[in-house]
Amino acid sequence: MNNLMQGMIDWIEEHLFDDFSLKNLGENMGYSPYYCSFTFHRMAGISIKRYRALRKIYLAAIELEKTQQKTIDIAFKYGFSSQEAFSRAFKTTFGINPNAFRKNPSPLQSYVKLNINGEKGGFMMDISQKLKIENLQNKMNEQFDKDILNILNGQMMYEEFSNHELMGKSDYVPFNEAMCSNDTCYPIFSDEFNQLRALGHEVSLQDYENITINSLKPLFVKQYKCIVLWFGEDMFCQMNLLTMLAYLGQINYSGKVFFHLVNELTYDVEEIEVMPEGYKEIYQQVLIQHQLPNVQVLPVTYQGIKLYLEYLKEENEITIYIKKHLKMSQGELLKNLFHLFPNYGLGDTQYLKMIKKIKEQNKLI
């Protein structure tokens, strides 16, 4: 079955710019069009139509950034009937129109070709990127005389950077949270916030403070000229990034803030300066009121927010996939969830909680 699925993915990618036909796909695979469509949706968690749409809009964004082709030519190349249709689809996906993105390229969430046999492991820094990260740090040190705090997304990234001594003599701390899960409140890191987050994570307040709050102590007690936020592109990381930017806005931080996007597929790093002002309102709109922000945010953050709002739904692409595969062993199901839904960035804890809830609802526990 995996070979059939990978064969379909390969064929779809080879014909991504063609007029798509389920009939032609079926003939090439040796199965009926319906069976191909059903199998793809069952194994990938999304329809062929949505997979093609996501791949094309992502590749179109790369061409906007990397080439000088006219926007209308890119629109036609990727199957859009007009430049207006392309602009609507682009803004729906990234929260910004194509021309504005081309004038000021900003980080995007990757949507690469599916690999049905792929596996998602922990965060492992590619040593080939070590020099680039060190160069970024050297540039920061020259500008701010080492008066810099690096905030890394989670303990695994923190330990990986620490093991490879990537931060030099600059201070660095982990943000050990999963803001995409459980309720939250404002102000951030207030007593009410800490108690609510501890309750959601099902740990004592003392444990939560030891794991999350104490790790951030330099942020609370020292004044830095520059703060660098190292976060990945997935939904999990982006909700953590949003929270940290909101906190900096909450305390009216006046220094420089840089977002270093760590692409966990290539382990490349993209740098952009950000302004924390306004993010406390965005935090409240997204993570408390559960709605899209009414102002423009970075495309990668916009994509993360849309995934987060999808994730909150009782019926979403992940829960639908789990319900269709409850007979699968837990280990196999987890492996599939990791490599089919990498853009969510969820870990064992989140997936196991979802699986348990669905099994209880289906009276399988």
Q: How many other β-carbons are positioned within 10 Å of the β-carbon of residue 360?
A: 10
pTM for the whole thing? 0.89
Q: What is the pLDDT of residues 64-84, one digit of tens each?
A: 999 999 999 999 999 899 999
CATH topology of domain 2-103: Arc Repressor Mutant, subunit A (1.10.10)
Please list, in sequence order, all residues whose beta carbon lies within 8 angstroms of the beta carbon of residue 121, skipping any fewer than 6 positions away: none
Element at 229 (helix H, strand E): strand 226-232
SS3 273: strand
pLDDT, mean over the chain: 90
129 — pLDDT class (breaks 50, 70, 90): low
CA 222, 223, 228, 232 torsion-angle sign: positive
* Residue 170: pLDDT band with limits 50, 70, 90: confident
Work out the pLDDT band at 117, boundaries 50, 70, 90: low
Query: Are 228 and 148 spatial neighbours (Cβ–Cβ below 8 Å)?
Result: yes
* Separation CA 303–CA 234 (nearest Å): 8
Nearest to 150 by CA among 139, 161, 164: 161
Q: Please return the burial class of 163, using the count of CB atoms within 10 Å of its CB with bins 0-12, 13-18 and 19+.
A: exposed
Mean pLDDT to the nearest integer, 89-98 = 95
- Measure Cα distances from 50 to 54, 88, 93, 329 in Å: 6, 16, 12, 27
